[in-house]
Amino acid sequence: MRSIATFVAACGLLIAWTPATERLAAQAGGQYPHAFPRAGVRQILDNVRVTVWEVNWRHGDKQPVHRHLYDMAGVYLRYGPITVTDLDGKENKGAEFPVPRPYFQPKGITHREEAVTPGAPERLAIMVDLKEAATDMMYIDDPEPSAYPREGATNVLENPRVRMWDYTWTPNGPAVKRVYRNDVVEVVVTGGTVKVTGPDGKAETRTLAPKQARYINRGTVQTEQGVSGSPRVIAIELK
């Protein structure tokens, strides 16, 4: 992209920067940039299995055409209209949807996404890049019940890469010891307080707030109980 821009400037040419010219520029450079990071995006956590991003579609942010290099799971936490433009310049504004909205997108999608409606709400999501690395999938020999499925948890999305569960703790609900048989990313939708007790009996009170994301390793054993509020999460269980 830089070489084409430099050439144009040197020749004194003035051209419109259209999807077609952006496509040619990216092809000359060998590839499109990955979707993240970009303006309005903050990295929350990163490890060998996932990178988790807080994604804000802000008015006035000019975004590049980008390619999603990983399968991606996520949760929309606030709706706001955006325009998605493909490589041929075709625009798709989409339809309004309720939140929280679980979401999955396969890798390889190439497009541009921008908030272009002044005065409208700005869309917000927590997005999780799913890397190819997998943990040791040996059977976990533990008699405790699995973290998921669990009573009160609804399976809201499932495919070969993930299962996604919608779960809300109730204050002073049952304290059940559970084992996480898969790695999990918990995305907080509604805040509240949860008491978590490890296998050694050590207890910790955690205050959950919207937009937080927490990674729980496969094999983790803990007892969880709601303390106050009605903390709600969308748990992304990795396969």
| Total structural domains within the chain | 3
pLDDT at 28: 41
Q: What CATH number did the domain enclosing 90 receive?
A: 2.60.120.10
* 135 lies in some domain: no
* 145 lies in some domain: no
**pTM, two decimal places:** 0.85
Arithmetic mean of pLDDT, 195-222: 96
Which SS3 state, helix, strand or coil, does residue 2 take?
helix
pLDDT at 141: 74
Q: CA 153 → CA 89, 149, 156, 234, distances in Å?
A: 41, 7, 9, 9
CA-CA distance, 23 to 161, in Å (whole number)? Answer: 30
Q: Which two tokens stand for residue 124?
A: 């917000």
Of the candidate ranges 29-33, 141-145, 185-189, 206-210, the one whose mean pLDDT is the lowest:
29-33
pLDDT at 138: 64
Same-domain check for residues 121 and 65: yes
Same-domain check for residues 69 and 117: yes
CA-CA distance, 170 to 164, in Å (whole number)? Answer: 20
CA-CA distance, 234 to 236, in Å (whole number)? Answer: 6
180, 174, 171, 154: which is closest to 233 by C-alpha? 154
pLDDT, one tens digit per residue, over 140-178 is 777 889 999 999 999 999 999 999 999 999 999 889 999
* 179 lies in some domain: yes
Domain that holds residue 87: 32-130
CA-CA distance, 115 to 61, in Å (whole number)? Answer: 8
pLDDT, one tens digit per residue, over 22-63 is 444 444 445 899 999 999 999 999 999 999 999 999 999 999
* 72 lies in some domain: yes
4 pLDDT more than 70 = no
